[in-house]
A and B are shown apart, each in its own frame.
Chain A
Amino acid sequence: MIQVHKTTDSKLSLSHILVAYAALTIGGICGMLQGLVRGGVIELPYGIGYYQVLTAHGVLMALVFTTFFIIGFLYAGMVRTTGPLLPTVNKIAWVGFLMMTVGTVLGVIMVLLNKATVLYTFYAPMKASPWFYVALVLIVVGSWCALVAIVSQFRYWKRTHKGKISPLFAFMAASTMILWFIATLGVAATVLLQFIPWSFGWVDTINVMISRTLFWYFGHPLVYFWLLPTYVVWYVILPKMIGGKIFSDSMARLAFILFLIFSVPVGLHHQLMEPGISPTWKYIQVVLTFLVVVPSLMTAFAMFATFESYGRSKGAKGLFGWIRMLPYGDVRFLAPFVGMLLFIPAGAGGIINASNQMNAVVHNTLFVTGHFHLTVATTVALTFFGVTYWLIPHLTGRTFTKKLNRMGIWVTIIWAIGMVIMSAAMHIVGLFGAPRRTAYTTYNDHPVALEWLTYERVMAISGVLLFIAIILLVISIVMMLRAPKGEEEFPIAEVNAAAGQTPAVLDKWWIWIIILAVLIVFAYTMPFIDLINSGPGSKGWVTW
């Protein structure tokens, strides 16, 4: 067996993971401060702005933590399922890592200097320093190196294993990166063609609606870029963790293909309350949005089936006897499992958000903030935390100790409680109309706004709880890096024998990419024609 931890591949993965956790730590401090300010508990010292902290929180958590972790994790899994990275692939991967890291540092500096207090959505015509947009370009182009690396490695495997179905992990990793590439074309277009020329002063105005539409063309598949690696863990790794099998290889691939196809042409459901887009095209994209729910319904079935089938093989009786057979005492299972359960309310909230005119009840309220703290900050984050507890030992040639497990279980419990309380408060107060992305205010003691304060205090308290979990997590990571030497395997489950052969068509990318391209052209052509014909653009504003 190759000793993974001595290779440059493992250093590559580890570097990504460590940058991810550095981002999570700083982003977590920002998150706690925000909660305390919004709840009216503290005021920020030294002229630090609430919205500055909010920008840092969003960029570091939503863009940096997720992207670095995902790419580092996928590299490790590619090595496990397709062998060591080819030398050129490894080099490209390192170039990508450096670009992304430089981009992150540059972006954070711009935010700290208060030159880019535009939040992570950077809506025009607010105009940040051009270097903030350059930083975003570096992060995105760096991530494209990861795309090239992973897809090249995947194709190399296919070339050297003619006629065989690709390893499920490698297939899922490649589809995740292809989704990411197609999505980031939108943000790259708006940043390169609109924001950079405008912020450097080469052009005077910007078409605001085009920039928003390109942003959300990217912004929704972005959330699937977070979710797909989470599903990789659930489909391919969790069954191994409990000692069971993958329920169905072909259904897992089919789910990923459906995600690839339907998660892009849906961005308008983030713009339902906006002018300039015809209601019919909004509704069409709402329908497409609902289609992307179907592979998640399939995933829910596959997960319960994996657990039930394992439980029954261990002699579980009755309708729900299998629930008691799962290894809840193992953080590597517990954390993703809790994330899975909390994806149920998260998904329900998502369907509500996307429901066309119904979006008026929740649009830009804290309901939405509550929603994505359940999806990305609970489901995705807890799954990644669970992975971290075996992945870092695997990459560094250390053992996963009992003590680490205990720490991990505490992290999971505190994080889950913190997020459940915070998200519940956000959902409820959002239904009352409390706006998201807003500092402490009572709107001149308006009675409607005064009713929100209790909930905002609850959010502040749970923010502190979440920060405690992050401290424990950081301590765990330091402990992992110093744990006794040994071997920790990268768990990859086998497919259930009853699942049947995987049809080769599922492994044929070009078919699915063509279907996706057709759908994108269908869903976006008319809205774009309407928007390009709108009036003069906007000059830039610095309002912070």
Chain B
Amino acid sequence: MHIHRLEKLWIIIGTAMLVVFLVAIGIGAYAMGNHPPGHTSSIKLDPEKVYETPPFDNPGLEKIGENEYNAYIVAYIYGYNPGNIEIPVGATVHFYVTSADVVHGFNIPGTIVNMMAIPGEVNEMTYTFDEPAEYLLLCNEYCGIGHEYMATTITVKG
């Protein structure tokens, strides 16, 4: 099988570029802890009993350290429980998100907080809010007739 010299060169260059990309995201994920969101812990939720299962029996913020919080949030048609969260600037928030009904999205535009809320599963993501602002938190997965109204805010106070 004959391969043109320049084609070989191109395949090597192109593949090398892809390897560089993979190494960059691999370092980000494995060396700097920037894994995509996800949680494979042993918390098994019955989607029908979300509000009876800890920690979602008591949704909301839990202060766990100096300006560090766990946020247990239940997505439902068409909102988030609790909504309108307020936190101080610089707060590190560990979001734990599930759904009480269908699949929802959990996205804060302008940040990398973007994950799926899936019934029966808990999704997890950590983010530090360094800028004071009123952040928009919206559902970016179609969830029904009122999907476009499913949003709330996270207010970061300076």
Contact A544 B145 (CB under 8 A): yes
Contact B29 A279 (CB under 8 A): yes
Measured between beta carbons, the chain B residues less than 8 angstroms from A88 are: none
Question: A301 interface residue, CB < 8 Å from B?
Answer: yes
Question: A272 interface residue, CB < 8 Å from B?
Answer: yes
Q: Which of A77-85, A155-163, A441-449 contacts B (4 or more CB under 8 A)?
A: A441-449
Question: B60 interface residue, CB < 8 Å from A?
Answer: no
Q: Which of A61-69, A186-194, A429-437, A513-521 contacts B (4 or more CB under 8 A)?
A: A429-437
Tell me which of B28, B120, B123 contacts A537 (CB under 8 A): B120
A124 to B38, CA, bound (A): 19
Question: A440 interface residue, CB < 8 Å from B?
Answer: yes
Contact A539 B140 (CB under 8 A): no
Measured between beta carbons, the chain A residues less than 8 angstroms from B48 are: 536, 539
Contact B140 A448 (CB under 8 A): no
Measured between beta carbons, the chain A residues less than 8 angstroms from B145 are: 49, 51, 117, 543-544
What sequence of 0s and 1s flags, for each residue 520-544 of chain A, a beta carbon within 8 Å of any chain B beta carbon? 0000000000100011111101011
Interface residue ranges of A431-476 to B (CB < 8 Å)? 432-441, 443-444, 446, 448-449
Measured between beta carbons, the chain B residues less than 8 angstroms from A543 are: 77, 101-102, 143-146
Residue of A nearest to B28 (CB): A357
Question: B36 interface residue, CB < 8 Å from A?
Answer: yes
Contact B149 A441 (CB under 8 A): yes
Q: How far is the CB of A511 from chain B (nearest CB, A)?
A: 15
Contact B116 A275 (CB under 8 A): yes
Measured between beta carbons, the chain B residues less than 8 angstroms from A357 are: 25, 28-29, 34-36, 112
Chain A interface extent, by class:
35 or more
Residue of B nearest to A50 (CB): B148
Measured between beta carbons, the chain B residues less than 8 angstroms from A537 are: 47, 120
Contact A297 B40 (CB under 8 A): no
Contact B22 A290 (CB under 8 A): yes
Contact A126 B37 (CB under 8 A): no
Tell me which of B10, B47, B113, B141 contacts A301 (CB under 8 A): B10
Contact B116 A273 (CB under 8 A): yes
Q: How far is the CB of A166 from chain B (nearest CB, A)?
A: 16
Contact B144 A544 (CB under 8 A): yes
Q: Which of A20-28, A281-289, A415-423, A485-493 contacts B (4 or more CB under 8 A)?
A: A281-289
Contact A126 B102 (CB under 8 A): yes
A304 to B142, CA, bound (A): 41
Q: How far is the CB of A328 from chain B (nearest CB, A)?
A: 25
Question: B138 interface residue, CB < 8 Å from A?
Answer: yes
Question: B39 interface residue, CB < 8 Å from A?
Answer: yes
Contact A446-B147, Cβ < 8 Å, known A123-B103, A290-B22: no
Measured between beta carbons, the chain B residues less than 8 angstroms from A165 are: none
Residue of B nearest to A444 (CB): B151
What is the number of residues of chain B that contact chain A, defined by CB distance less than 8 Å? 66
Question: B71 interface residue, CB < 8 Å from A?
Answer: no
Question: A208 interface residue, CB < 8 Å from B?
Answer: yes
Measured between beta carbons, the chain A residues less than 8 angstroms from B37 are: 273, 275, 360
Contact B36 A294 (CB under 8 A): no
Tell me which of A54, A273, A298 contacts B11 (CB under 8 A): A298
Contact B36 A209 (CB under 8 A): no
Q: How far is the CB of A353 from chain B (nearest CB, A)?
A: 12
Tell me which of A126, A248, A276, A286 contacts B22 (CB under 8 A): A286
Contact B148 A439 (CB under 8 A): yes
Residue of A nearest to B44 (CB): A535
Interface residue ranges of B108-152 to A (CB < 8 Å)? 108-110, 112-116, 118-124, 134, 136, 138-149, 151
Q: How far is the CB of A544 from chain B (nearest CB, A)?
A: 5
Contact A274 B123 (CB under 8 A): yes
Question: A355 interface residue, CB < 8 Å from B?
Answer: yes
A323 to B140, CA, bound (A): 43
Measured between beta carbons, the chain B residues less than 8 angstroms from A355 are: 21, 25
Measured between beta carbons, the chain B residues less than 8 angstroms from A251 are: 1, 3, 7
Contact A294 B1 (CB under 8 A): no
Q: How far is the CB of A302 from chain B (nearest CB, A)?
A: 8
Most B Cβ at <10 Å: residue of A272, A294, A449: A272
A298 to B40, CA, bound (A): 38
Tell me which of A275, A287, A359, A444 contacts B123 (CB under 8 A): A275
Question: B67 interface residue, CB < 8 Å from A?
Answer: no
Contact A286 B25 (CB under 8 A): yes
Contact B107 A433 (CB under 8 A): yes
Question: A245 interface residue, CB < 8 Å from B?
Answer: no
Residue of A nearest to B105 (CB): A364
Q: Which of A95-103, A218-226, A397-405, A497-505 contacts B (4 or more CB under 8 A)?
A: A497-505
Measured between beta carbons, the chain B residues less than 8 angstroms from A439 are: 147-148
A370 to B3, CA, bound (A): 35
Contact A360 B119 (CB under 8 A): no
Tell me which of A208, A363, A501 contacts B119 (CB under 8 A): A208
Residue of A nearest to B142 (CB): A437
Measured between beta carbons, the chain A residues less than 8 angstroms from B36 are: 272-273, 279, 282, 356-357, 359-360
Contact B3 A279 (CB under 8 A): no
Contact B121 A294 (CB under 8 A): no
Contact A274-B7, Cβ < 8 Å, known A209-B121, A436-B140: no
Q: How far is the CB of B95 from chain A (nearest CB, A)?
A: 12
Residue of B nearest to A542 (CB): B144
A355 to B19, CA, bound (A): 12
A438 to B138, CA, bound (A): 11
Contact B112 A360 (CB under 8 A): yes
Contact A536-B120, Cβ < 8 Å, known A279-B36, A301-B10, A365-B140: yes
13 pairs from A and B in contact (CB 8 Å cutoff): A208-B118, A212-B103, A254-B1, A283-B29, A287-B22, A294-B18, A298-B7, A357-B34, A437-B142, A535-B45, A538-B47, A539-B47, A544-B144
Chain B residues in contact with chain A, CB under 8 A?
A: 1-4, 6-7, 10-11, 14-15, 18, 21-22, 25-26, 28-29, 34-40, 44-48, 77, 101-103, 105, 107-110, 112-116, 118-124, 134, 136, 138-149, 151, 153
Nearest 4 A/B pairs, CB to CB: A433-B109, A543-B144, A535-B44, A435-B140
Given contacts A351-B21, A543-B145, 8 further A-B contacts (CB under 8 A): A125-B102, A208-B119, A298-B11, A360-B113, A433-B107, A435-B105, A446-B151, A534-B121
